[in-house]
Amino acid sequence: MSPNSQTPPAVPPACSADEATAARLQRTLELQRTRIRLLEEENASLAARLREQGIPVRTSSAIANELPAPRENPTQRDAALANLETAERQLAEELLGSHPIFLFFRTETRADVGRWFSRGRVAAAATDRDLVLFAAGPRPYAEAIPFTNLHRSLYNHVTGELILAPAREVRLTRIQISPADGYQLLAQIYQEPSNHA
């Protein structure tokens, strides 16, 4: 080879096209998330101004008008907790305190509770103001999420999960339950705060 001849440029690896596509999609996703956040903030601001003017504003969920009626009478505590193991019942009593239970069921969701070979099955209870999720074990899982932090929740028919939104800083953001339980729980979440006050 002569000193004046140039070496051909290095051929980029085949994955660079995939990486470029992934980077482009990531940028698009971030732009869409930012746009959604800005629209939600603008929508909340507009809704607040309309309420100040005495104009009724629809709930943030389009399906809230299609839900079953929220349960207005609490279930019997002993009946609701009857099928729980001793450790689960103690955890439930501790978390629920004296709050009435309007809805109680076991989900198909499992959470890390400190066992080596299995995860604990999560139970859900709707009180007058919170969704309480728990699973017993050496390191119990327990969360009480106020309904006010769940005003954008929805049921996903494809996955069979109730998506808890915008529920920030919680360990579980989705629970796998039947459509009937999901819609009844949404009814409890979206009810007017004065229903049990």
Give start and end residues of each alpha helix (H) in 53-121.
77-80, 86-96
What average pLDDT does range 61-71 have in this prediction?
72
Helices (H) and strands (E) in the chain, counts: 4, 7
CA distance 117 to 113: 10
Tens-digit pLDDT profile for residues 15-52: 577 888 888 888 887 777 777 667 667 766 776 776 77
The percent of residues above 70 in pLDDT, for the chain, comes to 78
Q: With 90 as the cut, is the pLDDT of residue 12 above it?
A: no
Q: With 90 as the cut, is the pLDDT of residue 2 above it?
A: no
Query: In the chain, what is the straight-line distance between the N-terminal and C-terminal CA atoms, in Å?
Result: 89
CA distance 113 to 20: 40
Tens-digit pLDDT profile for residues 119-140: 999 999 999 999 999 999 999 9
The mean pLDDT value of the chain amounts to 82
Predicted TM-score (pTM) of the model is 0.65
The DSSP annotation for 35-57 comes to HHHHHHHHHHHHHHHHHHTT---
Kindly list the domain boundaries of the chain, sorted by start residue: 15-57, 64-195
What average pLDDT does range 175-191 have in this prediction?
92
Indicate the class that CATH gives domain 64-195.
mainly beta
Torsions phi, psi for 169 (to 5 deg): 60, 40
Determine the pLDDT at residue 108. Answer: 94
